[in-house]
Amino acid sequence: MFNYIVRRLLWTIPTIIAITMLIFVILRIIPGNIIVAMFGGGGGGGEGIQKVDPAVIEKIRSDLKLDRPLYEQYYYWVSGLARGDMGESFFRGQKVSTLIKNHGPVTLEIALISIVVSWLVGVPIGILSAIKQDSWADYLGRFFVVLFVAVPAFWFAGLIVLGLIVAFQWYPPLYYEHIWVDPVANIQKVFAPVIVIGVGMGAMIARMTRSSILEVMREDYVRTARAKGVGPKLVMWRHVLKNAMLPVLTIAGLSLAFSLGGSVAVEYAFSINGLGMVMITALMDKDFATVQNLVLIYSLVFVLINLLTDLSYALLDPRIRYD
Protein backbone atom coordinates (compact mmCIF):
# COMPACT_ATOMS: atom_id res chain seq x y z
CA MET A 1 0.00 0.00 0.00
CA PHE A 2 2.93 2.33 0.72
CA ASN A 3 4.10 2.09 -2.91
CA TYR A 4 0.58 2.80 -4.11
CA ILE A 5 0.32 5.92 -1.93
CA VAL A 6 3.69 7.17 -3.18
CA ARG A 7 2.67 6.62 -6.82
CA ARG A 8 -0.63 8.42 -6.29
CA LEU A 9 1.10 11.34 -4.60
CA LEU A 10 3.62 11.58 -7.43
CA TRP A 11 0.81 11.61 -9.99
CA THR A 12 -0.81 14.53 -8.17
CA ILE A 13 2.23 16.73 -8.83
CA PRO A 14 1.56 17.28 -12.58
CA THR A 15 -2.14 17.59 -11.76
CA ILE A 16 -1.52 20.38 -9.27
CA ILE A 17 0.87 22.14 -11.66
CA ALA A 18 -1.76 22.02 -14.40
CA ILE A 19 -4.36 23.38 -11.96
CA THR A 20 -2.15 26.31 -10.97
CA MET A 21 -1.52 27.17 -14.62
CA LEU A 22 -5.21 26.96 -15.47
CA ILE A 23 -6.20 29.14 -12.52
CA PHE A 24 -3.53 31.71 -13.36
CA VAL A 25 -4.46 31.95 -17.03
CA ILE A 26 -8.23 32.11 -16.53
CA LEU A 27 -8.02 34.90 -13.95
CA ARG A 28 -6.02 37.01 -16.37
CA ILE A 29 -8.13 36.55 -19.47
CA ILE A 30 -11.49 37.29 -17.87
CA PRO A 31 -12.77 40.84 -18.55
CA GLY A 32 -11.93 43.60 -16.10
CA ASN A 33 -8.94 45.17 -14.44
CA ILE A 34 -8.02 45.36 -10.79
CA ILE A 35 -6.90 49.00 -11.07
CA VAL A 36 -10.19 49.99 -12.71
CA ALA A 37 -12.07 48.06 -10.02
CA MET A 38 -10.28 50.10 -7.34
CA PHE A 39 -10.67 53.55 -8.86
CA GLY A 40 -13.15 53.19 -11.71
CA GLY A 41 -16.20 54.31 -9.76
CA GLY A 42 -19.52 52.63 -9.27
CA GLY A 43 -20.32 52.51 -12.95
CA GLY A 44 -17.24 50.44 -13.72
CA GLY A 45 -16.48 52.61 -16.73
CA GLY A 46 -13.06 53.70 -15.53
CA GLU A 47 -13.96 57.40 -14.99
CA GLY A 48 -12.47 57.49 -11.49
CA ILE A 49 -9.10 56.14 -12.52
CA GLN A 50 -8.47 59.24 -14.64
CA LYS A 51 -8.38 61.35 -11.47
CA VAL A 52 -5.71 59.23 -9.79
CA ASP A 53 -2.05 60.17 -9.85
CA PRO A 54 -0.32 57.95 -12.44
CA ALA A 55 2.52 57.41 -9.98
CA VAL A 56 0.07 55.88 -7.52
CA ILE A 57 -1.30 53.58 -10.19
CA GLU A 58 2.20 52.55 -11.21
CA LYS A 59 3.08 51.87 -7.56
CA ILE A 60 0.04 49.59 -7.20
CA ARG A 61 0.90 47.75 -10.40
CA SER A 62 4.44 47.25 -9.13
CA ASP A 63 3.26 45.99 -5.73
CA LEU A 64 0.93 43.50 -7.40
CA LYS A 65 3.59 42.49 -9.95
CA LEU A 66 1.21 43.48 -12.76
CA ASP A 67 4.01 45.31 -14.53
CA ARG A 68 5.91 42.05 -15.00
CA PRO A 69 5.47 39.52 -17.84
CA LEU A 70 2.93 36.78 -17.19
CA TYR A 71 5.54 34.06 -16.75
CA GLU A 72 7.23 36.15 -14.02
CA GLN A 73 3.91 36.72 -12.27
CA TYR A 74 3.31 32.98 -12.32
CA TYR A 75 6.81 32.32 -10.98
CA TYR A 76 6.35 34.76 -8.08
CA TRP A 77 3.06 33.08 -7.13
CA VAL A 78 4.32 29.50 -7.29
CA SER A 79 7.62 30.30 -5.56
CA GLY A 80 5.68 32.03 -2.81
CA LEU A 81 3.51 28.93 -2.36
CA ALA A 82 6.65 26.83 -2.05
CA ARG A 83 7.79 29.09 0.81
CA GLY A 84 4.36 28.97 2.46
CA ASP A 85 3.57 32.55 1.42
CA MET A 86 0.16 32.91 -0.23
CA GLY A 87 0.48 36.63 -0.67
CA GLU A 88 -1.75 39.40 0.59
CA SER A 89 -5.25 40.47 -0.27
CA PHE A 90 -4.84 43.97 -1.64
CA PHE A 91 -8.40 45.04 -0.85
CA ARG A 92 -8.65 43.52 2.64
CA GLY A 93 -5.10 44.32 3.66
CA GLN A 94 -4.66 40.83 5.16
CA LYS A 95 -2.54 37.87 4.28
CA VAL A 96 -4.45 35.21 2.37
CA SER A 97 -3.31 32.60 4.89
CA THR A 98 -4.93 34.70 7.63
CA LEU A 99 -8.19 34.88 5.66
CA ILE A 100 -8.20 31.11 5.28
CA LYS A 101 -7.47 30.65 8.98
CA ASN A 102 -10.28 33.01 10.00
CA HIS A 103 -12.97 31.95 7.53
CA GLY A 104 -12.02 28.34 6.80
CA PRO A 105 -13.51 26.80 9.98
CA VAL A 106 -16.98 28.06 8.97
CA THR A 107 -16.90 26.35 5.58
CA LEU A 108 -15.27 23.22 7.00
CA GLU A 109 -17.91 22.89 9.72
CA ILE A 110 -20.74 23.20 7.22
CA ALA A 111 -19.13 20.66 4.87
CA LEU A 112 -18.46 18.04 7.57
CA ILE A 113 -21.90 18.28 9.17
CA SER A 114 -23.50 18.22 5.71
CA ILE A 115 -21.81 14.92 4.83
CA VAL A 116 -23.08 13.42 8.11
CA VAL A 117 -26.60 14.62 7.34
CA SER A 118 -26.34 13.26 3.80
CA TRP A 119 -25.49 9.78 5.12
CA LEU A 120 -28.24 9.90 7.75
CA VAL A 121 -30.75 10.87 5.06
CA GLY A 122 -29.49 9.06 1.96
CA VAL A 123 -28.42 5.62 3.21
CA PRO A 124 -31.70 4.71 5.03
CA ILE A 125 -33.80 5.92 2.11
CA GLY A 126 -31.66 3.97 -0.36
CA ILE A 127 -31.83 0.78 1.73
CA LEU A 128 -35.59 1.07 2.19
CA SER A 129 -36.17 1.71 -1.52
CA ALA A 130 -34.07 -1.33 -2.45
CA ILE A 131 -35.70 -3.68 0.07
CA LYS A 132 -39.21 -2.46 -0.81
CA GLN A 133 -38.58 -2.29 -4.56
CA ASP A 134 -41.58 -1.05 -6.59
CA SER A 135 -43.62 -0.42 -3.44
CA TRP A 136 -45.08 2.90 -2.31
CA ALA A 137 -41.99 3.43 -0.12
CA ASP A 138 -39.73 2.93 -3.15
CA TYR A 139 -41.74 5.35 -5.28
CA LEU A 140 -41.70 7.93 -2.48
CA GLY A 141 -37.95 7.52 -2.05
CA ARG A 142 -37.31 7.88 -5.79
CA PHE A 143 -39.51 10.98 -5.85
CA PHE A 144 -37.37 12.48 -3.08
CA VAL A 145 -34.18 11.62 -4.97
CA VAL A 146 -35.30 13.12 -8.30
CA LEU A 147 -36.69 16.23 -6.62
CA PHE A 148 -33.63 17.18 -4.60
CA VAL A 149 -31.12 16.20 -7.27
CA ALA A 150 -32.91 18.53 -9.69
CA VAL A 151 -33.50 21.46 -7.32
CA PRO A 152 -30.63 24.01 -7.41
CA ALA A 153 -29.01 24.59 -4.02
CA PHE A 154 -29.38 28.39 -4.16
CA TRP A 155 -33.12 28.11 -4.89
CA PHE A 156 -33.64 25.62 -2.07
CA ALA A 157 -31.67 27.89 0.26
CA GLY A 158 -33.88 30.87 -0.58
CA LEU A 159 -36.99 28.75 -0.08
CA ILE A 160 -35.86 27.69 3.40
CA VAL A 161 -35.08 31.25 4.43
CA LEU A 162 -38.45 32.49 3.16
CA GLY A 163 -40.30 29.60 4.82
CA LEU A 164 -38.66 30.16 8.21
CA ILE A 165 -39.39 33.88 8.09
CA VAL A 166 -43.02 33.54 6.99
CA ALA A 167 -43.99 30.53 9.09
CA PHE A 168 -42.02 31.07 12.30
CA GLN A 169 -40.84 34.69 12.16
CA TRP A 170 -37.35 33.27 12.68
CA TYR A 171 -34.25 35.04 11.46
CA PRO A 172 -30.76 33.52 11.61
CA PRO A 173 -28.15 35.32 13.72
CA LEU A 174 -26.31 38.09 11.92
CA TYR A 175 -22.87 36.92 12.97
CA TYR A 176 -21.23 33.52 13.05
CA GLU A 177 -20.06 32.23 16.42
CA HIS A 178 -17.74 29.26 16.84
CA ILE A 179 -19.43 26.27 18.42
CA TRP A 180 -17.10 26.37 21.42
CA VAL A 181 -18.03 30.03 22.03
CA ASP A 182 -21.82 29.94 21.61
CA PRO A 183 -23.20 26.51 20.57
CA VAL A 184 -26.80 27.74 20.24
CA ALA A 185 -25.95 30.66 17.97
CA ASN A 186 -23.62 28.44 15.96
CA ILE A 187 -26.29 25.81 15.33
CA GLN A 188 -28.84 28.47 14.39
CA LYS A 189 -26.42 29.95 11.86
CA VAL A 190 -25.30 26.71 10.17
CA PHE A 191 -28.58 24.79 10.42
CA ALA A 192 -30.13 25.97 7.15
CA PRO A 193 -26.93 25.70 5.02
CA VAL A 194 -26.32 22.20 6.40
CA ILE A 195 -29.85 21.12 5.47
CA VAL A 196 -29.54 22.56 1.95
CA ILE A 197 -26.20 20.91 1.18
CA GLY A 198 -26.84 17.72 3.20
CA VAL A 199 -30.22 16.95 1.65
CA GLY A 200 -28.89 17.53 -1.87
CA MET A 201 -25.96 15.16 -1.30
CA GLY A 202 -28.28 12.75 0.52
CA ALA A 203 -30.42 12.45 -2.59
CA MET A 204 -27.40 11.38 -4.66
CA ILE A 205 -26.28 8.93 -1.97
CA ALA A 206 -29.80 7.45 -1.75
CA ARG A 207 -29.85 6.91 -5.50
CA MET A 208 -26.46 5.19 -5.50
CA THR A 209 -27.30 3.12 -2.40
CA ARG A 210 -30.49 1.79 -3.95
CA SER A 211 -28.80 0.86 -7.23
CA SER A 212 -25.83 -0.81 -5.51
CA ILE A 213 -27.98 -2.85 -3.13
CA LEU A 214 -30.25 -4.07 -5.91
CA GLU A 215 -27.21 -5.11 -7.93
CA VAL A 216 -25.58 -6.96 -5.02
CA MET A 217 -28.85 -8.68 -4.04
CA ARG A 218 -28.84 -10.43 -7.42
CA GLU A 219 -25.36 -11.91 -6.89
CA ASP A 220 -24.92 -15.67 -6.55
CA TYR A 221 -23.39 -15.56 -3.06
CA VAL A 222 -26.45 -13.71 -1.73
CA ARG A 223 -28.79 -16.35 -3.16
CA THR A 224 -26.53 -19.06 -1.71
CA ALA A 225 -26.69 -17.47 1.74
CA ARG A 226 -30.47 -17.36 1.56
CA ALA A 227 -30.60 -20.98 0.39
CA LYS A 228 -28.57 -22.00 3.44
CA GLY A 229 -31.23 -20.50 5.67
CA VAL A 230 -29.49 -17.29 6.70
CA GLY A 231 -32.04 -14.73 7.89
CA PRO A 232 -32.90 -11.73 5.70
CA LYS A 233 -31.48 -9.20 8.18
CA LEU A 234 -28.20 -11.08 8.53
CA VAL A 235 -27.90 -11.42 4.74
CA MET A 236 -28.46 -7.71 4.36
CA TRP A 237 -25.97 -6.59 7.03
CA ARG A 238 -23.25 -9.19 6.51
CA HIS A 239 -23.29 -9.78 2.75
CA VAL A 240 -25.20 -7.06 0.92
CA LEU A 241 -24.40 -3.76 2.61
CA LYS A 242 -20.67 -4.35 3.00
CA ASN A 243 -20.23 -4.90 -0.73
CA ALA A 244 -22.80 -2.32 -1.81
CA MET A 245 -21.10 0.48 0.14
CA LEU A 246 -18.04 0.74 -2.15
CA PRO A 247 -19.69 2.88 -4.86
CA VAL A 248 -21.62 4.75 -2.16
CA LEU A 249 -18.34 5.60 -0.46
CA THR A 250 -17.03 6.97 -3.75
CA ILE A 251 -20.06 9.21 -4.13
CA ALA A 252 -19.78 10.33 -0.50
CA GLY A 253 -16.13 11.28 -0.94
CA LEU A 254 -16.83 13.25 -4.10
CA SER A 255 -19.85 14.85 -2.42
CA LEU A 256 -17.68 16.12 0.42
CA ALA A 257 -15.31 17.69 -2.09
CA PHE A 258 -18.15 19.21 -4.11
CA SER A 259 -19.86 20.45 -0.93
CA LEU A 260 -16.90 22.76 -0.37
CA GLY A 261 -17.45 24.25 -3.82
CA GLY A 262 -21.22 24.25 -3.43
CA SER A 263 -20.90 26.19 -0.20
CA VAL A 264 -20.02 29.28 -2.24
CA ALA A 265 -23.62 29.85 -3.40
CA VAL A 266 -25.12 28.65 -0.12
CA GLU A 267 -22.93 30.90 2.03
CA TYR A 268 -23.86 33.85 -0.16
CA ALA A 269 -27.56 33.02 0.15
CA PHE A 270 -27.40 32.79 3.95
CA SER A 271 -24.86 35.62 4.42
CA ILE A 272 -22.31 33.34 6.09
CA ASN A 273 -18.84 34.81 6.08
CA GLY A 274 -16.95 31.65 5.15
CA LEU A 275 -14.52 30.92 2.36
CA GLY A 276 -17.37 30.95 -0.14
CA MET A 277 -18.28 34.53 0.71
CA VAL A 278 -14.60 35.51 0.63
CA MET A 279 -14.35 33.91 -2.82
CA ILE A 280 -17.30 35.86 -4.21
CA THR A 281 -16.02 39.15 -2.82
CA ALA A 282 -12.54 38.49 -4.18
CA LEU A 283 -13.92 37.66 -7.63
CA MET A 284 -15.90 40.89 -7.76
CA ASP A 285 -12.84 42.86 -6.65
CA LYS A 286 -10.49 41.07 -9.07
CA ASP A 287 -8.40 40.13 -6.05
CA PHE A 288 -6.05 37.72 -7.84
CA ALA A 289 -4.04 36.67 -4.80
CA THR A 290 -7.13 35.60 -2.83
CA VAL A 291 -8.96 33.87 -5.68
CA GLN A 292 -5.88 31.99 -6.90
CA ASN A 293 -5.12 30.53 -3.51
CA LEU A 294 -8.70 29.72 -2.54
CA VAL A 295 -9.29 27.82 -5.78
CA LEU A 296 -6.00 26.03 -5.24
CA ILE A 297 -7.03 25.06 -1.70
CA TYR A 298 -10.32 23.64 -3.01
CA SER A 299 -8.42 21.67 -5.65
CA LEU A 300 -5.96 20.22 -3.13
CA VAL A 301 -8.83 19.16 -0.87
CA PHE A 302 -10.49 17.45 -3.83
CA VAL A 303 -7.30 15.54 -4.67
CA LEU A 304 -6.77 14.52 -1.03
CA ILE A 305 -10.34 13.27 -0.62
CA ASN A 306 -10.04 11.18 -3.78
CA LEU A 307 -6.87 9.56 -2.40
CA LEU A 308 -8.45 8.81 0.98
CA THR A 309 -11.53 7.39 -0.73
CA ASP A 310 -9.40 4.99 -2.79
CA LEU A 311 -7.46 3.85 0.26
CA SER A 312 -10.63 3.25 2.27
CA TYR A 313 -11.73 0.57 -0.22
CA ALA A 314 -9.30 -1.90 1.33
CA LEU A 315 -10.99 -1.48 4.72
CA LEU A 316 -14.40 -2.36 3.31
CA ASP A 317 -13.30 -5.11 0.92
CA PRO A 318 -10.33 -7.27 2.00
CA ARG A 319 -10.07 -8.61 -1.55
CA ILE A 320 -8.68 -5.26 -2.68
CA ARG A 321 -4.91 -5.09 -2.51
CA TYR A 322 -2.61 -2.23 -3.49
CA ASP A 323 0.59 -3.46 -5.12
| Maximum alpha-carbon separation in the chain | 87
Q: What is the CATH number of the domain that holds 308?
A: 1.10.3720.10
> Which of 106-120, 163-177, 194-208, 266-280 has the least mean pLDDT?
163-177
pLDDT computed for residue 172 by the predictor = 67
Do 57 and 174 lie in one domain? The reply is no
Residues 6+ apart with CB under 8 A from 39: 48, 49, 51, 52, 57
DSSP 235-300: IIIIIIHHHHHHHHHHHHHHHHHHHHHHHHHHHHHHT--SHHHHHHHHHHHT-HHHHHHHHHHHHH
Into how many domains does the chain fold? 2
> Which of 16-30, 52-66, 217-231 has the least mean pLDDT?
52-66
> Which of 30-34, 194-198, 239-243 has the least mean pLDDT?
30-34
DSSP state of 135: S
Do 304 and 225 lie in one domain? The reply is yes
Total-model pTM: 0.75
Do 113 and 78 lie in one domain? The reply is no
Domain boundary among 60, 76, 96: 96
Do 120 and 144 lie in one domain? The reply is yes
Do 149 and 268 lie in one domain? The reply is yes
Residue 322 lies in a domain: no
pLDDT of 278 above 70:
yes
Do 84 and 111 lie in one domain? The reply is no
pLDDT of 271 above 70:
yes
DSSP 157-170: HHHHHHHHHHHH--
Reported as a single tens digit per residue, the pLDDT across 114-152 is: 888 888 888 888 888 888 888 888 888 888 888 887 777
CB hemisphere CA count around 306 (13 angstroms): 12
Reported as a single tens digit per residue, the pLDDT across 301-316 is: 887 877 777 777 666 6
Among 257, 248, 256, 242, CA closest to 298: 257
pLDDT computed for residue 42 by the predictor = 47
Do 66 and 112 lie in one domain? The reply is no
pLDDT of 186 above 80:
no
Q: Which domain holds residue 21?
A: 2-96
Q: What is the pLDDT of the chain when averaged over all its residues? A: 76
Residue type at 27? L
Domain boundary among 72, 96, 120: 96
Do 17 and 131 lie in one domain? The reply is no
Reported as a single tens digit per residue, the pLDDT across 215-228 is: 887 777 777 877 87
pLDDT computed for residue 276 by the predictor = 80
pLDDT of 43 above 60:
no
pLDDT computed for residue 283 by the predictor = 78
> Which of 8-17, 26-35, 43-52, 269-278 has the least mean pLDDT?
43-52
Mean local confidence (pLDDT), 282-300: 80
> 20 by DSSP, 3-state: which?
helix
pLDDT computed for residue 32 by the predictor = 61
Domain boundary among 96, 130, 153: 96
